[in-house]
Chain A
Amino acid sequence: MNIQTTLALIMTTTLGTAGLAVADKDSYALDQWKATPKTYLNKAEHEQYLKECGSCHFAYQPGLLPAASWERIMANLSDHFGDNAELPATETTDIRNYLLNNAAGRVNSSLPKKILRDSKAQQPVMRITETPYFIRKHDEIKPKMVKDNPEVRSFSRCDACHTRAADASYNEHEVKIPGYGRWED
């Protein structure tokens, strides 16, 4: 990685995480970003997170959104995409910490880095499905396969199409859209 990219990445991190904690750990952050990503995406493993945030939908991996997005989500649980997902305060704190520590920009994995890089100048979105990276990767998929597909209905259901989503694997060769079969392009 050249210096320019590295700098750009650091700026993105700082922006994307609303200036949290990075400033006083400059050298640490630099070392992290210089290193080659160690994983594609880490699995969601926090027990309480899986239980609480996996009861209404697939438990999204924390690396899929920047910290600032998770902050907004965790601050608005009683009005959560039209549903009520409120939690007792202690659980909210535990889960928020887990999400923030493992958010895009805080882990050395390749997919979170791409998601963060593409969202740089933007306000933190509340949805993975609204990140520029996500939109770009899914723009060839027709509404009849998603919105009008009774077995999918929404892009938010990662595990409806990505057969190994729970293993944090989103390889395009593992995609199977219900009613349409394997994805070939």
Chain B
Amino acid sequence: MKTKTVLLLLLTCSPLVSTAANVVEERLQTYKTAGAKNFSAAAGQSLWNRQFEQPDGSKARACSSCHTTDLRQAGKQINTGKLIEAMSPAINPQRLTDAEKIEKWFGRNCKWTMGRECTAQEKGDFLKFIQSQ
């Protein structure tokens, strides 16, 4: 491939490719200021798949209940049946490109699944995991 083409490709791709990465980087910095450190995709994955017992005795809940354990596949909103597009930014370039959207869904989903807000550490681990898929 000629240098010019490579340059052109880099130029065309870089804004798109870097968006999810930039947004995640900015989020991780914010979480660090809140006291979190050493984010781990493995920790994020294990929390993602963990089943949380519900105090009212209803069925245990996990992030994977709706998003499945394979982030490259589409999931399904278990309460309504609506399709949820794949979470992996490699498959779905829209993912992790909007900090407000990410925080909004962390707010709703952590409370619904785990019965409480996620900590800054947990959010960072989740983002690392989602990004790695």
C-beta contact mask, B70-98 vs A, less than 8 Å → 1, else 0? Answer: 00000001011110000000000000000
The 8 Å CB contact of A56, one of B82, B104, B107, B111, is B82
A43 to B119: give the CA distance in the assembly, Å.
Answer: 40
Tell whether, in the assembled complex, residue B79 and residue A157 are in contact, meaning their CB atoms are under 8 Å apart. Answer: no
Interface residues of A in 45-81 (CB under 8 A from B): 55-58, 78, 81
Q: Give chain A residues whose Cβ lies under 8 Å from the Cβ of B109.
A: 84
Please give, as numbers and ranges, the residues of chain A lying within 8 Å of B37 by CB-CB distance.
none
The answer to whether A56 and B112 have CB atoms under 8 Å apart is no
Q: Which of under 10, 10 to 19, 20 to 34, or 35 or more describes the interface residues of A?
A: 10 to 19
Of the stretches A4-12, A85-93, A117-125, the one at the interface is: A85-93
Q: Would you call the interface of chain A mostly helix, strand, loop, or mixed?
A: loop
When the two chains form their complex, are residues B108 and A153 in contact, meaning their CB atoms are under 8 A apart? no
Q: Are A157 and B80 in contact (CB under 8 A)?
A: yes
- A160–B6 CA distance with the chains assembled, in angstroms: 46
- Chain A nearest CB from B77 CB (Å) reads 5
Contact among B77, B80, B82, B107 with A86 in the assembled complex (CB-CB below 8 Å): B107
State whether the Cβ of A181 lies closer than 8 Å to any Cβ in chain B: no
Contact B80 A85 (CB under 8 A): no
Q: A83-B112, A84-B112 are in contact. Are A57 and B104 (CB under 8 A)?
A: no
Which residues of chain A come closer than 8 Å to B79, judged between CB atoms? Answer: 56, 81-83
B104 proximity list for chain A (CB < 8 A): 87-88
Does A156 belong to the interface (CB within 8 Å)? yes
- Let me know if A156 and B80 touch, CB within 8 A: yes
Whose C-beta in chain B lies nearest to the C-beta of A153? B81
Shortest distance from the beta carbon of A84 to any chain B beta carbon, whole Å: 4
Which residues of the other chain, B, contact A156 by a CB distance below 8 angstroms?
Answer: 80
Contact A86 B108 (CB under 8 A): yes
B108–A57 touching, CB < 8 Å:
no
In-complex Cβ contact of B80 among A78, A84, A88, A154 (8 A):
A154
Q: Point out the residues of chain A lying under 8 angstroms from B77, CB to CB.
A: 56-57
Task: Sample 16 A-B pairs with CB under 8 A, ordered by A number.
Answer: A55-B82, A56-B77, A83-B80, A83-B112, A84-B107, A84-B108, A84-B109, A84-B111, A85-B108, A86-B108, A87-B104, A88-B104, A153-B81, A154-B80, A157-B82, A160-B81
Q: A55-B82, A84-B107, A157-B80 are in contact. List 4 more A-B contacts (CB 8 A).
A: A57-B82, A58-B82, A81-B79, A87-B104
Please give me the 9 A-B residue pairs with the lowest Cβ-Cβ distance, nearest first.
Answer: A84-B108, A57-B80, A84-B112, A56-B77, A56-B80, A84-B111, A83-B79, A57-B82, A153-B81
